[in-house]
Amino acid sequence: MSELSNPCVSCGACCAHFRVSFYWAEADDAGGLVPTELTEPLNLFMRNMRGTNRAAPRCVALQGEIGGCVSCGIYEQRPAPCREFTLSGEGGIHNEACDRARARYGLSPLFSPSLPVMTESYALPGAPELPEHVQSPG
């Protein structure tokens, strides 16, 4: 998915809704990638991203305004929970957590599993054909 079509760059809700906890060895002081100075200990085996273990969480690495233009300041070094989190609808799979985070900030869901996927079989009889320069979304 290109950055221009990725809804995450105009959202950021997940980065300001969930605690981001991960195994302590993912931090760079233990041989991992996540900058230690952006983490805090959670327990003996876990760390979390600073700012995410609050009543109103916001990851310290999140840059920009939620619902506007956002980015992760450590994208290539982000921990496993961030790498594994998918936007709702990616691969046709609903991610309720993504939609819940978006709802907290008044953003509409990205995917609804109850809506049919538009295919050519839904075309109305007698509807004009698409011009050659226009591609069908299927």
Q: In 53-129, at which residue ranges do the beta strands (DSSP E only) sit?
A: 62-64, 70-72
Q: Which residue has the higher pLDDT, 51 or 136?
A: 51
Q: Tokens 């109850």 belong to which residue?
A: 114
pLDDT (tens digit, 9 = 90+) per residue, 41-91?
A: 999 999 999 999 999 999 999 999 999 999 999 999 999 999 999 999 888
Report CA 118 to chain centroid distance, whole Å: 24
d(Cα 76, Cα 28) in Å, to the nearest integer?
A: 13
Query: Which residues is 63 bridged to in the sheet?
Result: 71
Indicate yes or no: pTM above 0.85: no
Mean pLDDT throughout 119-135?
47
Q: If DSSP states are collapsed to H, E and C, what string results for 88-105?
A: CCHHHCCCHHHHHHHHHC
Task: Compute the distance between CA of residue 69 and CA of residue 91 in angstroms, rounded to an integer.
Answer: 24
The encoded tokens of residue 28 equal 């760079």
Over residues 20-55, the pLDDT tens digits come to 999 999 999 999 999 999 999 999 999 999 999 999
Average pLDDT over residues 99-118: 80
